[in-house]
Amino acid sequence: MTQFQPPPFPPLPGQQDYYPAAHAPSAPPRWSAAAIGGFILSLLGFLGVTAVLGLIFGIVGIITTSGGRRRGMGLAIAAIPISVVTGAIAVLLFFFIPFLTRASEIPVKLQSALGSDSPTVADSANALREMGSSTFNEEVSTEVLQAWITQINAKHGKLTSASLDTDQMMSKTRDGSMYLNVKGKFVNGPAAIRLTFSEKEVWSLRIDDIEIGGSSPRGFADAPSPNKKESAPAAP
């Protein structure tokens, strides 16, 4: 017995029911909303949270499209690496670029604090305190800071220019502190400037110490105050 073959012409009205159901065309599987949504969100991943959502929806899309139950397996798979890449771009945009912008402003602030535009030692000390962390301003007294600036001025002169050391801009110590290296040019010649940031103050870039030519205010804590007079020796 031969199988039924439909005629080469469309059936007349009212004759559709004569065809076996096996010959009716089957509908293709529906698209996975998770796969489509994950792919779109991954493309918008540079906004931050959309990268995380794109990654999650991409994984869900792979699950829902497995076995051919839904269409969109390729979109779901592509959403995962795209989310990782755009998420990295988001981190760069929201964290590292603002950080580098603030870091590039530090040499300008240093030159304003220690340059020829700062007429007095007190003005220089106040400018450095505006850059200092709460710990630095609490632990380094005004007398010590002014005495250190006086020594720097006597040894190096005023700061004429400053720029970030691009060869080794930042370094990290074992205790978690971060160093920002600056190239300084003083009246008496060049000198390296190293700014220290505690681990909790790194992103805000509030200095915890400043070292110029191997000398820092914290290391200068035992230095005599410029206003301190030596006591006269006791009479024999």
pTM summary value: 0.62
How far is 210 from 156, CA to CA, in rounded Å?
15
Tokens of 177: 């502190």
How far is 36 from 222, CA to CA, in rounded Å?
67
Residues 6+ apart with CB under 8 A from 222: none
Place of tokens 């065809």: 19
Q: How many CB atoms lie within 10 A of CB 217?
A: 25
DSSP class of residue 31 equals B
Angle at Cα 204 formed by Cα 201 and Cα 207, nearest 5°? 60
Closest to 66 measured CA to CA, from 80, 76, 55: 76
Place of tokens 């220089």: 124
DSSP string, 113-132: HHSTT--SHHHHHHHHHHHB
> Using alpha carbons only, how large is the chain's radius of gyration in Å?
35
How far is 101 from 76, CA to CA, in rounded Å?
37
Q: What is the pLDDT along the chain (236 residues), one digit of tens a residue?
A: 555 565 555 555 555 554 555 555 677 889 999 999 999 999 998 888 999 999 999 999 999 999 888 999 999 999 999 999 999 998 888 888 888 888 888 899 999 899 977 678 999 999 999 999 988 999 999 999 999 999 999 999 999 999 988 777 777 766 667 888 999 999 999 999 999 887 777 677 889 999 999 899 988 865 554 444 443 344 44
Q: What share of the chain is helix, strand, coil (3-state, %, to 5)?
A: 50, 15, 35
Report the relative pairing of strands 178-186 and 159-164 from DSSP bridges: antiparallel
| Backbone phi, psi, residue 64, to 5° | -75, -25
